[in-house]
Amino acid sequence: MSTTWDPALVDLVHLWRVDPVGHTQPLLETAATLVTAGTTSPALERLAAEGPDASRGGVHRMVTELQHEMGLGDITGEDAQQLALAAMTRRHITGHVTHRELTYWVTRVIGLRGGESGRIFLQLEQQYCDRLGEADVTDIDTRVHDEATALAEGRRSPSAPPLKKGLLGLLRRR
């Protein structure tokens, strides 16, 4: 049987891998919702049956099994960090986390392991900190949203320097 996996579940699995404390409950709730809606797999059903007191070790084993059922394989290190960052940007775009929650999460969980995208969100968090107490930070909010949207859509960062003219010509010829 082939299962089409809910993108929100895939994102939560990636997020759980780097931030289990912050994403165990949403993962368990999503698993329960999906099983109720008819999506089934052994690991998903076990996750759905877990309660709020689930042990981290038990959830870890089930998430590892689910990850293999989903065909995600073992993703670790910087790759795991970057996949989690992309997942969190999608959660931001869908309204699950605010602009500031996204940048703070990157600072707390991803740090410098998120590649260039991670560094951009670290810089934006620093801008929020520099302007702490200011009522209007909509310019930073807009930049966070633009960066998140670009990352989630697989586009270049809006803050990335422009490509050199010669390189741009080479890319267009391909």
The model's pLDDT over 10-65, given as tens digits with 9 standing for 90+, comes to: 999 999 999 998 899 999 999 999 999 999 899 999 999 987 788 888 899 999 99
- Show the domain range for 135: 77-152
Same domain? For 13 and 59 the reply is yes
Give the predicted TM-score (pTM) of the model: 0.84
Distance CA 82, CA 68 (A): 19
Same domain? For 81 and 142 the reply is yes
Same domain? For 81 and 146 the reply is yes
Domain for residue 159, yes or no?
Answer: no
- Answer yes or no: are the C-beta atoms of 145 and 99 closer than 8 Å: yes
If you count them, how many residues does the chain have?
174
pLDDT, tens digit, 9 for 90 and up, residues 118-167? 999 999 999 999 999 988 999 999 999 999 999 999 898 998 877 666 55
CB neighbour list of residue 77: distance below 8 Å, 6 or more residues apart: 113
Domain for residue 165, yes or no?
Answer: no
Domain for residue 163, yes or no?
Answer: no
Same domain? For 89 and 65 the reply is no
Both structure tokens of 6: 């809910």
- The 10 Å Cβ neighbour count of residue 172 is 7
